[in-house]
Amino acid sequence: MNECYYDKRMDFFYNKTNTDTVDEWTGPKLIVVLCFGTFFCLFIFISNSLVIAAVVKNKRFHFPFYYLLANLAAADFFAGIAYVFLMFNTGPVSKTLTVNRWFLRQGLLDTSLTASLVNLLVIAVERHMSIMRMKIHSNLTKKRVTFLIVSIWAIAIFMGAVPTLGWNCLCDITACSSLAPIYSRSYLVFWSVLNLVVFFIVVVVYIRIYMYVQRKTNVLSSHTSGSISRRRTPVKLMKTVMTVLGAFVVCWTPGLVVLLLDGLNCTYCGIQNVKRWFLLLALLNSVMNPIIYSYKDDEMWATMKKMICCSSEDKSQDRRSSRIPSTVLCRSTDTSGHYIEDGIIQGTICGKEDLGDKGNS
């Protein structure tokens, strides 16, 4: 019968697996790391809070897609919390941690990754439901969106707690991994392969949707005289999602591949030399997302800028800002969703109204 080591500190497991905890992370080097980490985490907290507040404040964003986008920002905010906890519980401090505290440290990171990934998967399903039915926005009610958001976090918390619930190597030291000294190698293989497969599925779905939207928009645009920016609204919306997804895949795939190699017990792959760089790359993903939202969506940037400046605009400025092209079409009285054809035709009408307003002024 195998002996279990629940009462041991992490130095016991690090020594057993010959894991490097970087004892030279002291003095000036540690201060630099903490300063950069603090700056990035503060940016994550502030920027993602602005994204969530913008979705709540601006009624143009009161659609299922943007609610899910706000939830993705919440996942990035949670990732910032996980990185702060990691920042003060890593390096030489790792060896002094208890097993439960180390499980908490890694569980927070796993939960943040799962929340972001499952959220992107749900957005892919929502986009597929709406676009393939010739709609810009889906018919999902607020109750259903709320249920989806709660489900996303329930799945994320469960996946983050799996090792704590028993899939670990506390009773089988020979099965311990190198990067995660109390995680079983079999769990690392399962975790990394599962996420990579979901990555692939989501990418395929988004590519299919994007190609369909672009093809359909090109066909319809030849039969309408609306402004180019309004006719390309569905494409702009998908470009935002594709950019977010691309950044997520680029930032997280290297780390997952390293975990997979560790799970396969690749002793000559040099994973200890690159693990910190790939963790930093994953951190940058939570920094990049708010920048992508504001850069790709003029309305999002205008709302965030207004909140930052804390200045009240007069009615003429409000009317002028409402004409800024956004990834959201002119709202129709039909709350069930906008059809692409109707949206393009609406673009023509809105354009004429804008010209009429200018003529009257």
* Tally of domains in the chain: 1
Q: What is the dihedral of CA 157, 159, 160, 165, to 10 degrees?
A: 100
pLDDT at 287: 87
Query: Is 270 within the bounds of a domain?
Result: yes
Query: Is 189 within the bounds of a domain?
Result: yes
Query: Is 323 within the bounds of a domain?
Result: no
Give the CATH number of the domain where residue 114 resides.
1.20.1070.10
Residue 176, helix vs strand vs coil: strand
Distances (CA, A) of 289 to 77, 80, 115, 331: 11, 13, 14, 26
Domain carrying residue 271: 24-309
The residue among 298 and 284 whose pLDDT is bigger is: 284
Distance, CA of 82 to CA of 264 (rounded, Å): 26
Query: Is 5 within the bounds of a domain?
Result: no
The residue among 215 and 334 whose pLDDT is bigger is: 215
The pTM score is 0.77
pLDDT tens, position by position, 112-158: 999 999 998 898 888 777 777 666 666 778 888 999 999 999 999 99
Query: Is 322 within the bounds of a domain?
Result: no
Query: Are 128 and 209 in contact, with CB atoms under 8 Å apart?
Result: yes
pLDDT at 5: 80
pLDDT tens, position by position, 12-69: 888 877 665 555 455 676 677 778 888 889 999 999 999 999 999 888 888 888 899 9
- The pLDDT of residue 234 is above 60: no
pLDDT at 193: 93
Q: How far apart are the two ends of the chain, measured CA to CA in Å?
A: 87
Residue 343: count of CB within 10 angstroms of its CB: 26
